């Protein structure tokens, strides 16, 4: 059964106030057919290694994983289903933070950008120790 679990492991920062991000998480769960577990949402300040301009600080992002998928396979599945998951007239970022992430652990991130434009940017960060903190766009 697909759903979005906002109380996964009883962690903090679970509020996801951006309705668009909540809708995207629902669509990810539906398209991938498994539960999306939210591990972070709105924040009042940056976490260690995080950016002061993070979409989390603006209430426009969520960190998550998907039951039954590795982070890498979920990231790829989201990319392959992007036309069904994301609104064409909005602007998003999807980031796979890897093993060497500067943001405190491996996870997926979706942000609803408040910049001018539309589309989805897919990025990876922290795939190796030499790439810690380096964001690379994935076409």
Give which of 72, 65, 59 is closest to 111, Cα–Cα.
Answer: 59
Kindly report the backbone phi and psi dihedral angles of residue 23, in degrees, each rounded to the nearest multiple of 5, phi listed first: -65, -45
Lowest-pLDDT choice from 4-18, 21-35, 39-53, 55-69: 39-53
Q: What is the pLDDT of residue 12?
A: 54
Give pTM, 2 decimals. Answer: 0.89
Kindly report the backbone phi and psi dihedral angles of residue 52, in degrees, each rounded to the nearest multiple of 5, phi listed first: -70, -15
pLDDT, one tens digit per residue, over 56-84 is: 888 899 999 999 999 999 999 999 999 99
Domains of the chain plus CATH, in order, are 4-44+55-138 (3.30.1380)
Q: Please report which helix (H) or strand (E) contains residue 29, including its range.
A: helix 19-32
Distance (Å) of CA 93 to CA 1, 11, 15, 21: 26, 23, 19, 11
Between 9 and 99, the higher pLDDT residue: 99
Give which of 71, 67, 125, 68 is closest to 93, Cα–Cα.
Answer: 125
């Amino acid at each position: 059964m697909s759903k979005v679990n906002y109380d996964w492991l009883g962690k903090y920062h679970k509020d996801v106030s951006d309705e668009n991000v909540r809708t995207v998480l629902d669509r990810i769960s539906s398209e991938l057919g498994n539960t999306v577990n939210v591990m972070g949402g709105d924040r009042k300040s940056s976490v260690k290694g995080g950016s002061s301009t993070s979409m989390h600080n603006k209430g426009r992002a969520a960190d998550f994983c998907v039951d039954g998928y590795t982070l890498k396979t979920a990231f790829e599945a989201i990319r392959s289903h992007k036309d069904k998951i994301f609104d064409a007239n909005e602007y998003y970022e999807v980031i796979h933070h890897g093993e060497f992430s500067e943001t405190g652990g491996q996870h997926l991130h979706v942000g609803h950008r408040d910049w001018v434009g539309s589309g989805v940017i897919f990025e990876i960060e922290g795939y190796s120790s030499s790439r810690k903190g380096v964001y690379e766009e994935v076409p």
